[in-house]
Structure 1
């Protein structure tokens, strides 16, 4: 019998080694599904051999949201715990998240405190995107005063992640999700391949009257970027445009496109090597058509 019979865990993998074992070990006997998107590093074999109790789904890579959706459809529970393959629970963290959600019946999502592998804080609370927030990020303005809400609104500057708080959204690296809330909002919007899918989902929960909470008493260690290694920069940009088009309207999305082009052109001048090439790729993508065509 699982310690948390009302919780089902979902882990999406794409070459999840070497971190996946720590992730799955931390889940213990929690009913778990791994949705694999075409791993070639031994991930599938490891799950089959070492974790026979875990449900394994193999499918094409349709994006992070689609992978989580497949997992949520496969296993039912009062709560779903969605966790990246490069993240793992610390002792007692899942019990804390469930207890927190039980005492906050209006919470659709509860996010834990994220820690880097060296134990330092990994800031996970975010504010809804705005054009100003986008500007502070892409023109590096937040570097001038990272602890202020004025110049660091996207990362909620000044919040020390040391108290429970109702927030706009939390990082999708680890989320406890109330399944009943999805009856109103649906699951992830699979039009978001990767990046911005969690902020879209949590905005939809809040629009439906639910809340999103940060719980500082549950710790999850997160490596960060292990699955994509920073190679999906264009998808990150596309995610920004899709979010603005969906929640702020196409005119605002076009303004976001122009802002991003200007910022990345400046970055491409300032940086050489691989980083400069990444920014030039971003400029080429953003300049290759209008917002509608970039999202089609």
Structure 2
């Protein structure tokens, strides 16, 4: 990737949140070199107790390491990485992303076509080349609760099928959507700062859903750009710490749904969500042992 000294100030700050990463972080940085033709500022936010891997990648690819001193979670760490940014665009990405050549340039070109875009997301490919549903509408009451409670225990449930089908029917169309996956997200710094970044109350999971909703409420658009393609290896955090990730996922789902359905007459929904997610969490924790 170009450095600011070589070709002027960076247009994009790329923030990668890490926790004791393996070789995937080097793959991330190496592929980023071919993703953008202009200068890119790479910031690795290290949440883990050992920064050796992040230090080595930063030294090899001209990046900077931000040490948090503790595991802040994804959103808080991304916010820390964005502090002091002067580039007009910020990328927040997982370390297990592999960029396709020109993919960041493609996202930036789309941003020019969408002046009210607060966030833009690429097509996320699984390692087998299939498409991950990374651009989704904000769920309706029945879809949101049904998907949250039954997606893992009953993958073919009608609420999850309806929820995911809304992307499947338009997976090749550049369009505005409700929210975009935080696994790889280009955010307009002005919009990110306007809404206060990620909500730090989410340790992991649902911080991207919440951000997309708040951007839309502030008048910005979330734009899905399928012509930009990246591969998400996925699951590195889950494989190392499944119990922690399962609990974090359920706490974040509960927080988001309680916040979204916070009227007094939604109390039966909140009770059902808490009870249902508690049962599902216990089931998944037993299965993960």
- TM-score norm. by structure 2 comes to 0.83
Q: Distance in 1 between matches of 2:263 and 2:20?
A: 36
The answer as to 2:63 corresponding to 1:54 is yes
Partner of 1:235: 248
Report Cα offsets for 1:117-148 as digits up to 9, x if no partner: 22221221122244422314533566156xxx
Matched ranges for 1:136-175 at <5 A: 136-140=147-151, 143=156, 151-153=161-163, 156=166, 158-175=168-185
Q: Which runs of 5+ in 1 are unaligned?
A: 282-296
Query: What is the deviation of 1:81?
Result: 1.2
Partner of 1:31: 41
Q: Distance in 1 between matches of 2:170 and 2:26?
A: 30
Query: What is the deviation of 1:42?
Result: 4.0
Partner of 1:196: 206
CA contact 1:127–1:154 (8 Å) conserved in 2: no
Query: What is the deviation of 1:158?
Result: 3.8
Q: Distance in 2 between matches of 1:41 and 1:78?
A: 28
Describe the SS at the equivalent of 1:82: strand
Describe the SS at the equivalent of 2:83: helix
Q: Distance in 2 between matches of 1:96 and 1:253?
A: 44
Query: What is the deviation of 1:183?
Result: 3.7
Q: Distance in 2 between matches of 1:181 and 1:263?
A: 32
CA contact 2:133–2:164 (8 Å) conserved in 1: no
The answer as to 2:146 corresponding to 1:135 is yes
Partner of 1:292: none
CA contact 1:2–1:30 (8 Å) conserved in 2: no
Q: Distance in 2 between matches of 1:179 and 1:266?
A: 37
Does 167-176 or 225-234 show the bigger shift?
225-234
The answer as to 2:80 corresponding to 1:70 is yes
CA contact 1:126–1:155 (8 Å) conserved in 2: no
Give the number of aligned pairs: 271
CA contact 1:13–1:35 (8 Å) conserved in 2: yes
CA contact 1:9–1:31 (8 Å) conserved in 2: yes
Task: Please give the root-mean-square deviation of Cα atoms over the aligned residues, in Å.
Answer: 2.8
Q: Distance in 2 between matches of 1:150 and 1:43?
A: 38
Q: Distance in 1 between matches of 2:49 and 2:55?
A: 10
Q: Which runs of 5+ in 2 are unaligned?
A: 1-5, 34-38
Q: Distance in 2 between matches of 1:150 and 1:54?
A: 40
Q: Distance in 2 between matches of 1:248 and 1:144?
A: 22
Describe the SS at the equivalent of 1:16: coil
CA contact 1:3–1:30 (8 Å) conserved in 2: no
Partner of 2:189: 179
Report Cα offsets for 1:209-241 as digits up to 9, x if no partner: 111010010001101121233431111111122
Partner of 2:3: none
Describe the SS at the equivalent of 1:100: helix
- Judging by fraction of residues, say which structure has more helix: 2
Describe the SS at the equivalent of 1:153: helix
CA contact 1:81–1:175 (8 Å) conserved in 2: yes
CA contact 1:13–1:227 (8 Å) conserved in 2: no
